[in-house]
Structure 1
Amino acid sequence: MNRIAMPHIRFRQFCALPATLAAALALAACQPGAPEAAGEPPLAGADIGGPFELVNKDGETVRWADFDGQYRMVYFGFTYCPDICPTDVQRMIQGYKKLAETQPEAAAKIQPIFISVDPERDTPEIVGEFASAFSDDLIGLTGTPEQVKAAADNFRVFYSRGEDTPGGGYLMDHSAIVYLFGPDGEPLATLPTDQGGDAVAAELAKWVS
């Protein structure tokens, strides 16, 4: 069952960053001696990420701590999205694969993760199918509404159910950001999926050591 494109459902990307994230990014970009210029990750010290308990395609509980020791690419979206989510995930994985071609040891340290913000429709099976359509290395996670909300809150991700659409579907409004986290779960940077897979690969190479 391919849930990557559902023509009868439109998607509206939520473009405003949460206030805490916007402040962190502004600080990183504008203050004298900006972190990136000093060789420090742009999101160093930002309050993004944290513990969660979600479910994988096999119905097994997955925790944030399970990825300790690995870099993590994290994207929150939903499988019924017809355009923005699959495009972002595709470019995220393109960047990951490009890095694997040139720096396989670095890529081996990275775990790509997709987390659904639509637990009403995104069952473990559906999320698993969505993730595997892009890469066998991509882990798809979902959970109860309470579990998803707790995870999204910790990662400063906005989402809400939007308007119903003809044909029985509905929209999901959500922030669309690919985060890169370090081996200790610390936020490092956002990945430029809007610039394509090459740009994602370059950003990964900058921070993954």
Structure 2
Amino acid sequence: MLKARLKRTAILSAIALVIGGGIGFYQIQNETARVTQKASSVAPMAGGAQVGGGFALIDQDGKEVTENDYAGRYKLIFFGFTFCPAVCPTELQKMARVLDQLENPNIQPIFITVDPERDTAQVMKGYVGQFHPDIVGLTGSREQIDKVLADYKVYASKVENDMMDGYMMDHSAFIYLMSPNNALITLYPAQDTAEQIAEDIKKRLNAS
């Protein structure tokens, strides 16, 4: 009787674990889909307002940097956060493929966090290193990051979520192509493939 009861308890525990894991996976997938939909619908107002500008941030090595550290180079910039379950790693993988296709040392890829409270320089270093050796990760104080978000017309909002260390970040998901003098050239939405982006950049650079 005791053996049967223990066996039944073990089976029920296993079922509960599977169901719990499934619910957790569903919640993460649902959250990812919601963030992706929101991110794709919020575009910077590049038509009338200036997008971009100077910044003073901290790179993944803990060094203070400004836009002048990347002067004379085109920049591919993506805004996100390291706790992002799908959108950010997908876009950074895409950026890495673009860089491999272009093989252009005059293009500097940059990942700027929208979540500086969790994304310290050390965290950023471990994160960006997983995608491409040339990608620079930038963080800073909340005030510094908020200034950059405002200048680049980035949408970012904290959303409470117990599954993701307390909260997630809703944020716009565009890759910015910036000129050597830090002016916005164009935006690439999440729907664009690495091949489409690389081809567009080649055409723009050849025409300049």
TM-score range, shorter chain: 0.7 to 0.9
Q: Which entry has the higher C-alpha Rg, 1 or 2?
A: 2
1:147 alignment counterpart: 144
For residues 167 and 124 of structure 1, what CA distance do their matches in structure 2 show?
Answer: 20
Of 41, 66, 70, the match for 1:16: 41
Corresponding residue for residue 42 of structure 1: none
Q: Report if the CA contact (8 A) 2:76-2:109 is conserved.
A: yes
Partner of 1:116: 113
TM-score by length of 2: 0.78
Moved over 6 A (4+): none
Of 120, 126, 129, the match for 2:126: 129
CA contact (8 A) 2:59 2:121 kept: yes
1:195, distance to aligned residue in structure 2 (A):
3.0
- Calculate the aligned-residue CA RMSD, in Å: 2.1
| 8 Å CA contact retained: 1:161, 1:170 | yes
TM-score with structure 1 length normalisation? Answer: 0.77
Residue 27 of structure 1 corresponds to: none
What's the counterpart of residue 176 of structure 2?
Answer: 179
Q: Is the CA contact 2:44–2:152 (under 8 Å) kept in the aligned structure 1?
A: no
User: Greater helix percent: which structure?
Assistant: 2
1:88–1:194 contact (8 Å) kept in structure 2 = no
- Contact 1:91 1:200 (C-alpha < 8 Å) held by counterparts: no
CA contact (8 A) 1:92 1:193 kept: no
Q: How much identity, in percent, do the aligned residues show?
A: 35
Question: Deviations for 1:18-50, whole angstroms, at most 9, x for unmatched residues?
Answer: 5623xx2xxxxxxxxxxxxxxxxxxxx861100
2:71 counterpart (63, 68, 71): 68
* Structure with more contact order per residue of length (Cα contacts < 8 Å, sep ≥ 6): 1
Matches within 5 A, 1:1-209: 10-11=31-32, 12-13=35-36, 14-18=39-43, 20-21=45-46, 24=47, 47-100=50-103, 107-166=104-163, 168-209=165-206
